[in-house]
Structure 1
Amino acid sequence: MKSTGFTENDVPDQSGKCFIVTGANTGVGFETARALAQRGARVLLACRDKTKAQEAIARIRQITSNADLAFLLIDFADLSSIQAAAKRASLEPRLDALINNAGVMAPPLMRTKQGFELQFGVNHLGCFALTSLLLTKLSETPGSRVVITSSVAHKGARFDWDDLNAERSYKRMERYAASKLANALFFFELDRRLRAANSPITAVGCHPGIASTSLGRYMGALQILNPIAGILLNSADKGAWPTLQAATGIIQPGGYYGPKGFRGIRGGAGEAPRSTDAIDPTLAQRLWDVSIAATGIDPGLSSVS
């Protein structure tokens, strides 16, 4: 039976366009980079491990021999690395979309180089920093997009505003969910501010459903489900469909896209539901201010009343 919703087959020709895909050496990020390269795009694989990125590039070129690919070194656990990567990326002749895909899920308590709790630091603050630093470059290309990856886990999430850095307590899945709520609030607020500024950039969100990828490497015993995950969950290539729709399809500014199948877990992509907290302007404003204070990076967009 034909899948309903947006799939990889719906990605239009991308010749002449340039995309950055973070975390592109594996999983949904790899499949996104592969699909875009097959449609003729130049793709910068933004990863922290050069060897793994080069292996990913070689795999894509086995499929598309003339793929226009480049490695962009970036470590989302280090703000200085993000700043250096943004400078290198800004040297590209054009940038059509930044696809924020990289993330970590449920690790033991760990911290970024600047001392932030790893999931909040990588999943949100790293995304906030790179996006903010590339807005000027993106604004040079009319119709450019910022894609931010959230998760079904954002629903029901809460911030402990007095302990964002997990100095007092740490429950790994609660912190993961909070980081994904932060992603949802970020693209919601970014969209509001971009539109108020009459920017040529569109902000949009997506989620991959529940995909069987290496993101769950810290889940321990739950990894025994991997042999049957293909039956229950999205594969990585199908998990990329919402990302591809958000990056290349017909979308609503500030929209949120995910699988339309069973409980939003799998299937073709389309508009996805989000929690009321994810569209709360007060929460979004507070997170925006906290993010600027934490990173020292200001996107330079005025607040929206």
Structure 2
Amino acid sequence: MDIGNHSMVTHFILMGLTDQPELQLPLFLLFLQIYIISMMGNVGLLLLIGISSQLHTPIYYFLSNLSFIDLCYSSVIIPKMLVSFVRENIISYSGCLTQFFFFCTFGIADCYMLTAMAYDHYVAICSPLIYNSAMSQNICFLLVVGVYAMGVFRAITHTSGIARLSFCGNNVISHYFCDIPPLLKLSCSSNYINELLVMLLVVINSLITTLSILISYAFILSSILRIHSAKGGSKAFSTCGSHLASVAVLYGSIVFMYCQPVSTSNITQQKVSSVIYTTVIPMLNPWIYSLRNKDVKDALRKIRKDWSK
């Protein structure tokens, strides 16, 4: 199918992180290691939460789902990324849209899962007497269903917008996966509506989730300040520290990546920002939550003791 003197694109070539040959092998080994660590951490946390009855609580139910999302998120991006380091990385048009859809689904679900976890912290610290009823099994299940539903709905919206674009002539994506900014730059059709839609949805998602998290932590901080025991206040705040660290890094990289016009964005900065939220954060999350969490450490010790017997 032709448009003028150009042929419609049937496949894309992903350029990867760098075109410098001397960096290909070191980067391949680095990101292979990141992927392995990410898989081990997230699968390990999923198994630990599933095996340990003491971790069958709402917060660990959310954390197990966060690990599942990070597991899928990494698997959508990193394996295809590794191909770019060893050979020409070709992806079909339909494959590109599929990767983009699942990238959006799990990326957006990640944000909303962190919001659900913030709400759980809020109820646990600010309203401990009604915690069991407010965070019942049914309510937790509905919250998780809502998280995945928001991810799928937003992903369908973004993917539909990309699918309406025309790609003709140049088919080289200056990135290591199919993302919005490089695809918009590559398109030969008008991008104004799509850029506006991207920024609007990112702002809406960011506002909904960020405001919910900030409001939750404002009430949490107020409750902590009213705790007379220094030990009690320290314990309450330590349960939120890991979550706040994940939120800060994730939202910082996302806002930097998407809340700027495509025409003025820098490709290198885009790649660096993308690496943070597509590879580094899914790797760090399980270790942040396990290494800083007394309950997880106690569950590990109990399992080791049971196995040693």
| Superposition TM-score, scaled by structure 1 size | 0.28
Q: Kindly indicate which of the two structures has a greater share of residues assigned to helix.
A: 2
Larger Rg: 2
TM-score norm. by structure 2 comes to 0.28
